[in-house]
Each structure stands twice: as structure tokens, then as C-alpha cells.
Chain A
Amino acid sequence: MHSSGAPFWLKAAAIGGLMFMHIPILLIFVYAFTTEDRSYQWPPPGLTLDWFAVTWNRSDVWAALGLSLRVAAISTVIALILGTLCAAAVSRTKFFGRETISLLVILPIALPGIITGISLRSAFNLADIPFSFWTIVLGHATFCVVVVYNNAVARFRRTSGSLVEASMDLGANSFQTFRYVILPNISTALLAGGMLAFALSFDEVIVTTFTAGQQQTLPIWMLEELVRPRQRPVTNVVAMVVVLVTFLPILGAYYLTRGTDTVAGQGK
């Protein structure tokens, strides 16, 4: 085996694999402009921008988008607080049951989404909790904690403990130390974690179907269109917008943590 260049079969398989991952997403962009509105005909008979205007005037799409954004925003805030606290505790000290806590944080995402979904559904049933905005948030925040936790814990490990000691030696109290020493050190990791948590929540559908009742988040709106297609062109446009909206936080998180030993987004 040469150490300089890759063998041809490897290069071909790797690039072929990457294309396999990207072509389907690119197709979505083409379909958003097609003039065909009754089938998924390929190649598209013509191209038009009309569907963007049609989608813009759809109140149900806006309502679903609004709900999704609100759920994602609040879940992200909760996940940021819980994830950071947990990461601070786990990375600062060694204590009994530390491994168990790491496992507990990862569990909601390690087990299939349907388990988290049906579990919450069972719990709401037992406790007689009616479906509401907050039942959706409850589920989302639970599985978003791990994303923030992973990012924060990696950064805490790299932040030297002597910085905190120096700050205390110079007379700062715990809160001042947190505000002026710890926070500036972990802020980009938190921002990256928050963006990923937002993307995760914005896109979540499996758990949400169990916790939303009759409410429609954007993914649930899309799911209904997938099961019973009624407005294909509108769905195409929404799909394209969703791809663009989720790409921004991912690219942002990547640039924020680039160059460190743990780049954001490794675990989902």
C-alpha cells in the first residue's frame, strides 16, 4: 500500500458514498421550482417561482413554523441551563455515581425515539396531564440536554482548574468567577451546543407525535403531507426552506468550535 496516494477503488467508493448522501438533498432544491403540481415527475416539465408566493400566503404553514420556533427556543434555554450545570458538576469533581449520571444524560438519545415518546405518553396518561405546548417542550428539552452537555463537558475538560483558583485567590467570589472567568471560556461551546439543540428540536418528529396531541409543529405538518400528499408544491418549498434553516446552525456550530480537539456535532 502506498503511503502517498489513495488507491483508486477507495477514492471512487468514498466519493460515491458522499454523492449518495448529498444528491437526494439537492433534488429537493430542484423540486421546489417544478411547475408540476400533481405528481413527482422527473425531469420537471418546467421551472417556476410561483410556489414560493403560494407558500408565503399559507397561514397553516406559518402557524406550524411559529410553534416549532417557540418550542425549539424554550427547549434550548432549558437544555442550556441543565446541560451546563450537569457538565460543570461532572467535570469539576469525582463523586460516587458520576458514570451513572453521564449514562442518564445520554439515555434519552441512545434509546430509540419511540421509547421516549411512548414513555412520556404513558406518563401523561397516568398523571392525567392534557397535551399542551409544555408537554412538547418537556420531551424536547429532555433529549436536547445531551447535546449541550457533550459540548460543555469537552470544553470544561480543556479549561484549566488553576484559572478558577487564581480568580478566587484574587478575591472574586464564586459568582464573579463564573461571570468573568468560566463563562468567557465556555461561551463558544455553549453557543455551539445551543445551536445544535435548537436544530435538533426544530426537526424532531418521532417524540413529538406522542406529546403534541392535536398541535402541529412544522415536522408534524410535513409528516401529514408525506402520509397524505395534498399540496405537493407547498411541501417541496417547505422542505427546501427547512434544509436551509437547519444548515445555518450546523455551519455556525462548526465554525465556532473549529480548531479545537472536539468539533461540535459529532454526536446527535
Chain B
Amino acid sequence: MADLAVRSASKEASPTWLERVSDAFWRRPGLLLAVLLAPPLLWLGVVYLGSLFALLAHSFFSIDEFSGVIVYEFTLSTYAELFAPAHIDIIVRTVTMAICVTIAAAIIAFPIAYYAARYAKGRWKALFYLGVMLPLWSSYLVKVYSWKLILAREGILNWLFETLHLTWLLEAYLAIPLIGGNSLSVSSTGTFLVFVYVWLPFMILPIQAALERVPVTMLEASSDLGAAPAQTLRHVLLPLALPGIVAGSIFTFSLTLGDYIIPQIVGSSRRFIGQAVYAYQGTAGNIPLAAAFAVIPIIIMAIYLWLAKRKGAFDAL
């Protein structure tokens, strides 16, 4: 603090206003903190929290059935509408899809993450890193579009089955109700594939981060003590990777719950939560019902995050 005295003494002549502000920041760190925090807090507080509040408020309004105008009065009738069988159907379908996508993504992601964390060195490490990062950041719509090309009736996948003389297998599969359909691009399987593809990098990164922290010596100790590789995987590696898997599942789960574009472009006509939100706020102009629908993923994610926190998943983020 001695320097402060020297400094102000040397500038006593005529401190400019900039220097005066600067001195005030030095004397009162709280002031600096307030100046730093005010713009981002105002922005996020007003724009984001304000909007979330507007969403919540709308979910307690209702729409006049005859005029289609929003009635700005408190009611629970919009939430009651959610319990209509068709709506329950949408919710169950979306959550089931989110669970399936999360499990599949974890299974595909684990070997990639494990290889990158343990065996890839130098150039290979950089290659794996970019190999995950480029698909993560490349355009979401382009990724969905590429699957429209792949799954199309005249597309590469059907061509592949044809070349291998396996068309009968594909047709038998598509004949299965619920997961099948007229072609892959209008089946739930198609939707599932695209979801897994698009969210996969979100699962790889946290698992890799968790596995990087596992010391190799621990795995060696396990095999020295007589564990077969499968036992080491089951009893040492998986429990240590679990926080990473849970962290990744937060992304895959949350993103699947809220997406409305993938099932609209690749999939059957059966709706997901995101599509319901989008449809109700759009042509129907029923913002209250759309808002009430949007509250469901928030509640599901809140429960999920609470469970994940207890598993220690946030340390792996």
C-alpha cells in the first residue's frame, strides 16, 4: 500500500479524470467488481432470466378457445391440458428416445474416449482431438442434411444393402412396428440414428476428460492382482468413468428433449416435445400451451441435474 502514497504524490499536480477513476478502483475494489459485473448481469438478468420468467408466466395463462386470443389471467387449465392422452404420449415418446440415444451414445463414445485418453500419443492425440472437435462444431443443419442424403430411398444406405444383397433384411426390419416405417428416413430408427450422430461428440469429451485422470498404474495393479481385462473394465475403469458418462448424458439427454428439427426432417409423423412447442407457438398461436410444454424438459432436467450432482458428475465437466 506504500506505493499508493508515492503514486498519488507524484501525480498530485493534475490528475486527469481517467486517473481519478483508476484511483477510485484501487481504493475500493468493490466498485471495480460492480463495474465489471453490471453489464453481463444486466444482460443475462434482464434478457435471459426475464425471458424465462415470461415463459413461466405464459404457462399460467390460457387461450380463449373461440377467439384464439391469450387470456392474461392466472389459471392451471393449460397445465391440465398436458395430461391429455395425446400429450402424455408425446412426453413418454420423447423421454424414451432421450434414454435410448443416451445409452447408444455412451456405448459408441466409450472406446473412442478411452483410446484417445490412454493410447493416443503426439500426432494421434491431436488427430483424435480434432476428429472429435470438427464434427462437434460443424453445422448442425448440415449434419442433419447429410443423414437425409444417407437414409433417402435412393441414397447410399439402401444402395449398400442392395449391393450386398441384403435388402430383404432391411425390409424385414422396417416391417417391425414402432421402430420401422416405409423407409429409414421416415422411421423412428432414422430419428434415433441422427440423434446419436449429432450428439455423440458431446458424450465423448467428458468421458475422455474423466478417463485422462485414471492413472495407468491403477489398471496395471488390477491386472497384477489377477483381474482379466474384462474384470478391470467392469470393476475399475467403468466406475471411474461414470462421472464422465453422467456428465455427457446431461448433454445428450437435454439436447434430445429439446430438439424439434431432427424428428421433423428425419422421422415418422409422431411428434416429440420440441415439435409440440414449436407447433403450438407458431401456426396455432397458443403460446401458453407451448410454454407449459417447455416447462416439462426444465423439470426433467432439474431432476436429472440433481441426481447427477449427487454422482459427482460436475467435477468431470
Q: Which residues of A contact B (CB under 8 A)?
A: 1, 3, 5-7, 9-11, 13-14, 17-18, 20-22, 24-25, 27-28, 31, 39-43, 78, 81-83, 85-86, 88-89, 92-93, 95, 101, 104-105, 107-108, 110-116, 118-123, 125-127, 138, 141-142, 145, 168-169, 171, 173-175, 196, 199, 203, 205-206, 209-210, 219, 222-223, 226-227, 235, 239, 242-243, 246-247, 250-251, 254, 263, 265-268
Contacts and interface: CB of A to CB of B under 8 A. Distances in A.
A174 to B, nearest CB: 4
Nearest to B229: A1
B137 to A, nearest CB: 5
Given A101-B41, A175-B18, A112 B219 contact: no
Contacts, number: 287
Main SS of chain A's interface residues? helix
B122 interface: no
Interface stretch (B76-84, B85-93, B152-160, B171-179): B152-160
Contact of B141 (A83, A86, A226): A226
Contacts of B29: 93
A199 B50 CA distance: 26
A24 B138 CA distance: 12
Contacts of A107: 48
A12 B282 CA distance: 46
A246 B154 CA distance: 29
Given A18-B128, A122-B51, A40 B232 contact: no
B137 A138 contact: no
A121 B287 contact: yes
Nearest to B37: A89
Nearest to B115: A14
Contacts of A111: 254, 258, 297-298, 301
Interface in B264-315: 264-265, 274, 277-278, 281, 287, 290-291, 294, 297-298, 301
Nearest to A112: B258
Contact of B36 (A41, A89, A265): A89
Contacts of A126: 54, 57-58
B254 A112 contact: yes
Contacts of A125: 54, 58, 70, 287
B74 interface: no
Contact of B159 (A43, A89, A110, A247): A43
10 contacts: A25-B134, A25-B142, A28-B149, A31-B149, A40-B148, A42-B156, A111-B258, A112-B255, A126-B54, A239-B146
A24 B157 CA distance: 11
B37 A24 contact: no
Contacts of A14: 111-112, 114-116, 128
